[in-house]
Amino acid sequence: MSSLNFYSDCPEIEPVRRIYGIESELEINPYEQPIYELFEGRRMTKKLGTIQQFSQNGSRIYVDSGNHPEYATPECQTIRETVAAVIAGEIIMSEIVDLHGGKLEQQHFRLNNRVIGDDPKISWGVHENYQTLERINPEKSESWDGYSDHWNGLITHLSTRMILSGAGHVECRTGKYFVAQKAQHVKTPISSTTTSSISKPHINTRDESFSSNNNFRRLHIVSGDPNMIPWSSAYKIASTSLVLRMMEHGVNMNDLKLYRPANVTVSVAKDNKLSKLVELDSGVKIRSAEVQLALAELALEFIETVSVPEDEKIMANEWYAAAEHLVDSPKDKEFLKNKVDWIAKDHIIKSAKSRTGSTTDYVHARAIDRMWGDLNYNGIAIKLRKLGHFDDPLDAISLAPHLVKNPPKGRAELRGEIIRCLRNVVPKRSIRVRSVNWNEVKYNFEGGDREVYLNDSYGENPDEIARLYRHIEELE
What's the pLDDT tens digit per position in 251-273? 999 999 999 999 999 999 999 99
Mean pLDDT of 65-84: 91
CATH architecture of the domain with range 20-403: 2-Layer Sandwich (3.30)
Cis bond upstream, residue 201 (ω within 30): no
In 3D space, the residue among 28, 207, 22 whose CA is nearest the CA of residue 126 turns out to be 22
Distance (Å, whole) CA 390 – CA 401 = 17
Contact predicate 296/320, CB 8 Å: yes
Distance (Å, whole) CA 270 – CA 249 = 33
b (16+ CB within 10 A) / e for 182-205: bbbbbbbbbbeebeeeeebbbbbb
Question: Which residues, 6+ apart, have CB-to-CB distance to 448 below 8 Å?
Answer: none
Q: Which amino acid is at 180?
A: A
Distance (Å, whole) CA 326 – CA 341 = 15
Q: Where are the domains of the chain?
A: 20-403, 409-475
Q: Which amino acid is at 209?
A: S
Q: Which residue has the higher pLDDT, 394 or 12?
A: 394
Stretch (H or E) spanning 202:
strand 201-204
Distance (Å, whole) CA 216 – CA 17 = 10
Helix, coil or strand: residue 203: strand
Distance (Å, whole) CA 48 – CA 12 = 44
State the maximum Cα–Cα separation within the chain, in Å, rounded to a whole number. Answer: 72
**Cα Rg of the chain, angstroms:** 22
Confidence bin at 145 (pLDDT 50/70/90): very low
pLDDT, tens only, 158-216: 999 999 999 999 988 788 999 999 888 888 887 777 666 567 888 988 877 787 777 88
Mean pLDDT of 99-127: 68
Contact predicate 20/76, CB 8 Å: yes
Q: How far is CA 282 from the centre of its chain?
A: 32
From residue 92, how far is each of 86, 434, 439 by CA, in Å? 10, 25, 23
Instruction: Return the pLDDT at 388.
Output: 96
Q: Which amino acid is at 403?
A: L
Beta strand ranges found along 96-159 (DSSP E):
110-112, 126-133
Q: How far is CA 54 from the centre of its chain?
A: 19
pLDDT, tens only, 412-458: 998 988 888 887 766 666 788 889 999 999 988 888 899 988 888 89
- DSSP secondary-structure letter at 9? T
